[in-house]
Chain A
Amino acid sequence: MELNKFEESVREKMGKRQIKPSAQSWEKLEAKLDAKENKASQKSWKYIAAAVAVLLVAGTFLWNPNTSESPQIVEEPVNEIIEKPEVNKPENDVQIVSKENNQEEKNSAEKEIRNKAANKSKSAILAEKAPEAPLLEEVEIEEAVVLETISLEPPVSKEKLIQSKLEEIIASAAKNDEISEDEVDILLAEAASEISRERNLNIYASGNEINANALLAEVEDEIYQSFKAKVFEVLKEGYLKAKTAVANRNY
């Protein structure tokens, strides 16, 4: 019990006690703080320098002179798309439009609807592109446009077969009531891929000269591209590491 009293007085007195530090103590502390901060900033400078070096290396890769061969690079994704099976025959959008205009004069049935549709198809490459209008009338018109544009694709002799197909399409379209934007996008993508496929065919067929050296260069370029990607990956990792290190330098 006595001891607790003693401890109480110890706590009270020691808790209040203050000891004045020596005169130069703040200067000492300041020196310590300066040293620490300098060290920290030096460290961060190191990281910044490393990051700059990494960026420079990345830059040399980026501006490497293979820009002249860039058309070949562009071909890659296109080829991938072509590998997927396509239902429609290659046709050009512009051709569709022009043929449609010709056909207008010949066909007598559905004349009213066609006139309206033709006006629309002139303004837009694919008339289906404005399908979201909720009115039933307009939907009907657009269906008619689909009918026309697709019916013009094949030569006239196959018209019957196409007609039956068209009926199917119309039926499905009637089910959906509206042609969604996704469908429009898919149609556009198909058309684009067909155009580029045709161009490729032209290049290989009409040129007729498949240069062995060119092929080799292409393959080499592909290898180079994948290597480049790997290097970028490594650089990215390094950069992120440096970044986190810089961010954490004060801890």
Chain B
Amino acid sequence: MKVIQLFKSETQLIKRAAKKDRKAQRELYELHSGKMLSVCRQYIKDMHHAEEVMLNGFLKVFTHLKDFESKGSFEGWIRKIMVRESISFLRSQKKIVFSNEEIADPGFTAEMNTELNVAHIQNLIDNLPEGYRMVFVMYAVEGYKHAEIAKMLKITEGTSKSQLSKARRMLQEQLKTQNTSDYGIK
């Protein structure tokens, strides 16, 4: 019941917002801005830039609300817009390098503390080079397939796969050193 009501009220809000109703737009913004800023922040280290990208994303959302034909979830739709906006921001910064550099396999052994808190995870992701980070977040968090990632980033599927495996190795390396240092502290 509650879910239906919520859904109903959201479609109502979307309808009103499409007609440039500022109140409805604001409500939608309040509902989704937190999550969307989180999405942008995954890709963009700098918080101010991430917020700017998120705002530009919402600008696109509100000016193209007519194109959202209630197919699929609204959140999924705006999320996609945020991801695209983040990618194009990084591209404009010309920071993206899809490195071919080989990373040594850390040779996984010790039990890894997977119960990390969010800030910790963000820190790990932040430490990845842009190219690795984008592919990793798109694949692991957003659930995109390699074909989709390749299309969005204008790279080949092979590059997408190799970037992901390199990102994984790097994360493993980080986790390993963190684990050992944690042991050291404890």
Contacts and interface: CB of A to CB of B under 8 A. Distances in A.
Interface of A: 2-3, 5-7, 9-11, 13-15, 17-22, 25-26, 28-30, 32-33, 36-37, 250
25 contacts: A2-B112, A2-B114, A3-B108, A5-B114, A6-B112, A6-B114, A9-B114, A10-B125, A10-B140, A11-B140, A11-B141, A11-B143, A13-B116, A13-B118, A14-B121, A14-B122, A14-B141, A18-B37, A25-B54, A25-B55, A26-B29, A30-B26, A33-B22, A33-B59, A250-B63
Given A2-B114, A3-B171, A36 B63 contact: yes
B25 A25 contact: no
A32 B56 CA distance: 8
Given A32-B59, A36-B59, A37-B20, A10 B34 contact: no
Contact of B55 (A3, A13, A28): A28
A36 B63 CA distance: 9
Contacts of A3: 108, 168, 171-172
Given A2-B114, A6-B175, A17 B38 contact: yes
B116 to A, nearest CB: 7
Contacts of A11: 140-141, 143
Nearest to B25: A33
B116 A9 contact: yes
Consensus secondary structure, chain A interface: helix
Interface string B32-75: 01110110011000010001001110110011001000000000
Given A13-B118, A14-B38, A22-B51, A7 B140 contact: yes
A110 B30 CA distance: 97
A215 B137 CA distance: 83
Contacts of A28: 55
Contacts of B114: 2, 5-6, 9
Contacts of A10: 121, 125, 140-141
